[in-house]
Amino acid sequence: MPDEGNKEEETHDAEVISAESNAADIEEQSVKKSYPTIKNAILLCLLFCGIQLGLGLILGLFIIFSNSTDSSPLIGIMEIISNVACIGIVVWIGFRKTGKSFNEVFKFNNVSLELWIAGFVLTVGLVIVISELDNLFNVILPMPEFFRNFFASMMEDQTMAMAIIYIAVVPAFMEEIFFRGLILDGFAANYSKRKAIIISALLFGLIHLNPWQFFTGFLFGIVLAWVCIETKSIVLCIFMHFFNNALYAVVLRFRDLIPIQGFNAAFESSRFQPWWFTLSGAALTALGIWLVINRVQRNSENSDTVV
């Protein structure tokens, strides 16, 4: 009888140990976070800055020793390749660490026509509002002359096609897959919706490495992250980013195209826009947000009905 009692105790102990082990495994799996976390994202951004600095030095040395100018088409092409490589390398490294499929991370999902219209209205409104915020910030902290000249050269020294590619196409695609794709995907899985949006937007603003682009970049990043989460697609974010940057480049190149005082002119003057123009931008922004929310809610209701 004692032997049978010992066997029962041993069996019970083994079952307890097994249960505790299973519980530990489950807890470990629940604690394990998706990549990237905030720490991972900061390291990715620092890696991006390091690669950008290195490639920038190489390009600068090439310009010096080849006696080239910033307006040279070859230099323009090399700058575009450099920018693509900077983010491309970082995104490739980060994506490999996620362990997910391409579309799970980058969300190239189709969006409805109504959402395209909503995104267009929202972007037009944001462009106007952000332009005035740029004017305000430039009054508070005027941009140094060498920075003004740098931004002007980006727009005016290259052909219009090259400027659009450099200013609008490359940033819209590469920055979106980095911030609203890779980074936001990890944040959305690990943190609350609000925290994921704000921290990803903060990193997006900081990556511009100057205060004049940080504030508006942060605000624009909040809207883009919100749109990406609500629509479950990065496509609309790429369009909104492209439209914003392209319009900025066009307006600076053809200043009489939109003869509105202070519109997209923060890097050149401290004049403010007419109040009615800024108010119309705020109204369009509010309308665009409402249209996105309305369409997303209807999509959710239709999905629940089908289920």
User: What would the pLDDT profile of 168-188 be if each residue is shown by its tens digit?
Assistant: 999 999 999 999 999 999 999
CA atoms 151, 156, 157, 163: torsion sign: positive
Which two three-digit tokens encode residue 262? 């202070």
pLDDT at 70: 61
Mean of pLDDT over the chain: 84
pLDDT at 25 over 50: no
Q: Do the Cβ atoms of 260 and 128 come closer than 8 Å?
A: no
CA atoms 130, 131, 132, 136: torsion sign: positive
Residue span of the structural domain in which 243 resides: 102-300
Q: Is 63 domain-assigned?
A: no
Q: Do the Cβ atoms of 62 and 78 come closer than 8 Å?
A: yes
Block residue for tokens 């209205």: 121
pLDDT at 307 over 60: no
Q: Is 138 domain-assigned?
A: yes
Q: Is 166 domain-assigned?
A: yes
Amino acid identity for residue 213 in this structure: Q
pLDDT at 267: 53
pLDDT at 3 over 60: no
- The pTM of the full predicted model, rounded to 2 decimals, is 0.84
Domain count of the fold of the chain? 1
pLDDT at 277 over 50: yes
Q: Do the Cβ atoms of 264 and 252 come closer than 8 Å?
A: yes
Amino acid identity for residue 292 in this structure: V
Q: Is 124 domain-assigned?
A: yes
51-73 pLDDT tens trace:
999 988 988 888 778 776 666 77
Q: Is 51 domain-assigned?
A: no
